[in-house]
Amino acid sequence: MRNFTSYLEKAAKFFLYLLPVLSLIIAGGFFGKLFLPGAGDLFFPFITGKNFFFRIIVEILLALWVFLWAFDKKYAPRPTLLFWAVSATLGILILSTFLGANPYRSFWSNYERMEGLISHLHLFAYFLVLTSVFREEKDWKRFFAVLAGVSVIISFYGYLQLLGKIRIYQSGTRVDATLGNSTYLAIFIIFHLFFLIYVFLSSSKLWAKLLSGVVFLFELPIVFFTATRGAILGLVGGLFLFSLLLAIFGKSKRFRVIAFSSLGVILILLAVFWMIKDTDFAKEQYILSRFRNLSFQEQTVTSRLTIWSMALEGSKENPILGWGLENFNLVFNKYFRPELWSQEPWFDRAHNVFFDWLISSGILGLLAYLSIFVVSLYLLWRNSSDILLPITLTSLFAAYFFHNLFVFDNLTSYFLFFSVLGFINFRARSNSEIRPHYAEVGPQLDPRKLALAVFVFLGVLTSLYWANLKPLLASKFLLNALQDMAARGQDTDLILGDFEKALKLETFGGQEVREQLAGYTNQVIASNLPLEEKQKVITKAVSEMEKQVHESPDDARGWLFLAILQSRQGRLDESRNSLEKALALSPKKQQIIFLLADVYISLNQKEKALELVRQAYESDPSYSEAIKNFIIVSVINGQVEFAEELSQKHFGAKIFPEKRLLNAYAAVSRYDRVRDIWLKLLEEEPSNPQYRVSLAASYLKLGQRQNAILEIRKAMELDARFKPEGERLISEIQAGRNP
């Protein structure tokens, strides 16, 4: 039996040492093929590949650990204060999930985030196994060595991006390595920088000092090349705090010299930046320019403050347990502020750790989450024989927490955070009076725990299929559909077949599959495919979006997608009803208002349309699209003089060159304005023959037949293919007819 438990322990440790490679995985990439064989390319490859790998390995680990526990009591979890803090946080997340606004979404999340309760359950299982299997200092040293090795590979990847050998995925300038997001990369490297500082200062071996120092200098620039301001400021603040704490609590002269030297370097660098921030050099350097432009008036900052105020309003509605995980989108819609028109239309995070936890799990969840930090710091500083460890991890937590004031966690940062928590838990247990006394007894089979192990094993097998294989396949089929859309967009049967395969699996990716199908439908409608092909695609898309709004009736986004498809299908009354439901869920969202106004106009409810666009304009008169819509709908309602005064006020002219305004004037038979708009459009594109023909048509409406003939002749000169038709039109006009 002892040999059996030894094999189980070795297997568990192997998988724990393997887990850090998750940060290298890009679905379909080299490491993705290596560690997720057969998965291939997936939708959101930087997110899905890492998460499926993590979940599968953790489930295997959980089964191994329960069997270990059943055969040997020394692997039993021995709770500490930190264990209870983490457990309490998970318990509150479970309550908020099942009592929240959308339990299904809260549990499963989506492909873009892959968080939800299911991820927090896996993170807790990881924490539990980690703290139960790693019971010796050497286990942790090996684990952190693997982490360091992975960080070196990722940093090297980042340098290859800077050299142009590998493309930068998120943007053209901010490195993101295998994480696909510069912000994720920044905090990933910051964790490792503090690990390296600890090794450098605590190790007595010269080779360890040299190696950790070289790796630190190698990885440090990567943080700055991400140009992530919150992370960089967090790192600077964390290093400053580290130096300060080291100066105060460092017991040796060497530590104090290092501390004061570091403080001096940081202050000098800040002073240098302050002196050069207005120079041409600082303006031309992208990273420096991002910091020199940082102010409360900057658009990114103002939008964050607006979103935080919306989150605060939303938290008052469900203050105790929040809305449930992954439901910030509902708050964003309900409390949407019109001044956010220049930002992306849909936010699913508050981009602030306080507000994200307030929304997802209320004040109880936020307090439980904060208690993890408080308890961790308490355990670190309580009777610590190694003062360097609490100083390092306190500074790391400060940098990490500051970073999270402006963004949100992802799997890679959560993984590192829970790894550190596991280590703190190990140290707290080692420093306490609790000892692994079961080791003296030796392995003894517990039948009850063996039954539990069998139950867990069966549960893991089920989870591997339902929670991993099915959504993994659905993601693969969805990506196949997108690739076929790009390569063979005319083959509707093939593409619909791909979508159908993804939908039949009935996974948490259903919404993303349906929205991509809706996007394909818009592409098909604009194509030259036969009408029956278009009808087949749009009918399928409408049917699926109807299922979506049935599953998530409180999400304005689903109703909006459905309304657009219904409008394309000519079902205007149903489109109006869907848009009215969307507007009830997000009363100030201009995108919904504009679409509903268009449908009202199509249904000859012009006064309703005017009232809507008036509200959108008055909510934020700086939004040019709101101004234009107000002018256009005013013209349609016959308020031409008012519309032109408004246009003069905002655009400096009575009209502006836009075809929607042209159609509005045509609807009220103001062909003089139609002519004037075509003339303005021709100023922008004088070589456009179709514009000339359209201008000729407006001249005909005004009875200016010679001008019409002149424009047709100009069109014939611009496009010889138009000559036969142009001559026919001229002969018709000369005969006194209006062709």
Domain shared by 235 and 382, yes or no: yes
Task: Mean pLDDT check: name the lowest of 223-237, 476-490, 493-507.
Answer: 476-490
Q: Is 509 helix (H, G, I), strand (E, B) or coil?
A: coil
Q: Per-residue pLDDT for 584 more than 90?
A: yes
Distances (CA, A) of 126 to 18, 60, 420, 589: 13, 10, 12, 41
pLDDT band, very low/low/confident/very high, at 435 (cuts 50, 70, 90): very low
Same domain, 101 and 181: yes
Q: How far apart are CA 125 and CA 102, in angstroms?
A: 24
Q: Does the pLDDT of residue 213 top 90, yes or no?
A: yes
Q: Same structural domain for residues 161 and 86?
A: yes
Residue 243 belongs to a domain: yes
Please answer whether residues 223 and 155 qualify as being in contact, where contact means their C-beta atoms are separated by less than 8 angstroms: no
User: Closest Cα partner for 215 from 263, 147, 165, 261?
Assistant: 147
pLDDT for the residue numbered 440 = 45
Selected residue with higher pLDDT from 592 and 733: 592
CATH of the domain at 516: 1.25.40.10
Based on the fold, state whether residues 97 and 245 are members of the same structural domain.
yes
Does 238 score more than 90 pLDDT? yes
Phi/psi class of residue 134: alpha, beta or left (left: φ > 0; alpha: ψ in -120 to 50)?
Answer: beta
pTM here is 0.92
Residue 232 domain-assigned (yes or no): yes
Query: pLDDT per residue over 38-86, tens digit each?
Result: 777 889 999 999 999 999 999 999 999 998 988 888 898 888 999 999 9
How far apart are alpha carbons 278 and 538 in whole angstroms?
Answer: 55
Name the DSSP letter for residue 688: -
Task: Let me know whether 505 and 425 are in one domain.
Answer: no
**Last residue within a domain, chosen from 555, 585, 615:** 585
Look at residue 391 in the predicted model and tell me its pLDDT: 96
Nearest alpha carbon to residue 300 among 344, 256, 363, 237: 344
Q: Is residue 480 part of a domain?
A: no
Question: Which two three-digit tokens encode residue 558?
Answer: 């689903």
Helices (runs of H) and strands (runs of E) counted in the chain: 35, 0
Domain of residue 566: give its range.
Answer: 488-585
On whether the CB atoms of residues 637 and 629 are closer than 8 A, the answer is no
For residue 1, the model assigns a pLDDT of 56
Q: Work out the average pLDDT over 224-242.
A: 94
Return the pLDDT at 434.
Answer: 46
**Dihedral of the alpha carbons of 85, 91, 97, 98, in degrees to the nearest 10:** -170
Q: How many domains does the chain have?
A: 2
Measured CA to CA, the distance from residue 235 to residue 233 in angstroms comes to: 5
pLDDT over threshold 90, residue 431: no
User: Can you give the pLDDT at residue 473?
Assistant: 94
Inform me whether the pLDDT recorded for 353 exceeds 80.
yes
User: Which residue is associated with the tokens 């960089």?
Assistant: 232
Give pLDDT tens digits for 415-428.
999 999 999 999 98
Supply the Cα-derived Rg of the chain in whole angstroms. 31
Q: Are 134 and 422 in contact (CB under 8 A)?
A: yes
Residue 419, in any domain of the structure: yes
Instruction: Please check whether residue 461 lies inside any domain of the structure.
Output: no
Same domain, 428 and 492: no
> What is residue 438's predicted lDDT score, i.e. its pLDDT?
44
How far lies 522's CA from each of 291, 486, 538, 561, in Å? 41, 14, 8, 11
Do 116 and 261 have their domain in common? Answer: yes
Residue at a domain's end among 585, 617, 650: 585
Compute, in degrees rounded to 10, the torsion defined by CA atoms 533, 539, 542, 543: -130
First to last CA, the chain: 96
pLDDT band at 2 (very low <50, low <70, confident <90, very high): low
Residues 390 and 287 both lie in one domain:
yes
- Higher-scoring residue by pLDDT: 160, 271: 160
Q: Is the pLDDT of residue 433 over 60?
A: no
State whether 98 and 247 are in the same domain.
yes
Residue 299: per-residue pLDDT = 74
Same domain for 296 and 382, yes or no, is yes
pLDDT digits (tens, 9 = 90+) for 548-579: 999 999 999 999 999 999 999 999 999 999 99
User: Is residue 132 included in any domain, yes or no?
Assistant: yes
Distances (CA, A) of 195 to 213, 218, 397, 453, 457: 11, 14, 12, 35, 35
Per-residue pLDDT at 272: 83
Res 244 pLDDT > 90: yes
**266-314 tens-digit pLDDT:** 889 888 878 887 787 777 777 777 777 777 667 778 889 999 999 999 9
pLDDT of residue 575: 97
For residues 432-446, average pLDDT: 52
pLDDT over 90 (residue 739): no
Looking at the fold, whether 205 and 288 belong to one and the same domain comes out as yes
Distance CA 377, CA 205 (A): 28
Kindly state whether residue 18 falls inside one of the protein's structural domains. Answer: no
**Domain boundary pick from 390, 415, 433:** 433
Helices within 526-605 (DSSP H only): 531-551, 556-568, 572-585, 590-602
pLDDT of residue 228: 92
Domain assignment of residue 53, yes or no: no
Confidence of residue 242 (pLDDT cuts 50, 70, 90): very high
* Per-residue pLDDT, 292: 72
Instruction: Choose from 38-42, 161-165, 371-375, 683-687 the range with maximum mean pLDDT.
Output: 371-375
